[in-house]
Amino acid sequence: MGRLRIMSHRGDTVVVWDPKKAEAGDPEALEAVREAERIFAEERARGATAFAVKPGQPAQRLEHFDKTADQIVIVPRIAGG
């Protein structure tokens, strides 16, 4: 299962999709992928940064939504304090 986790003041919001079902053309899975893609683009437009995360491996920054990623974490924009 693919997961998109967006950090916010309420903790993280999670959007889940099934890449195998999406690949097979399942309408619900495709809808979930589209929703994740929409949120990804919206957050990126706000200045957030996205990372693909795999257990035990360093995070990789993502410029574009990757529906094959196991887990994507979106963090808010940072500023120097």
Q: What is the per-residue binding string for other proteins in 21-60, x denoting contact by CB under 8 A? A: --------------------------x-x-x-x-xx-xxx
The amino acid occupying position 48 is A
For residue 65, CA distances in Å to 10, 51, 81 come to 23, 10, 29
| Nearest Cα residue to 65 out of 45, 13, 28, 8 | 45
Residues 6+ apart with CB under 8 A from 46: 76, 77
Q: C-beta of 28: minimal distance to other proteins in Å?
A: 25
**Pick 27 or 58: Cβ nearer other proteins:** 58
Site for other proteins in 62-81 (CB under 8 A): 73, 75-81
Contact positions toward other proteins, by CB under 8 A? 5, 7-12, 47, 49, 51, 53, 55-56, 58-61, 73, 75-81
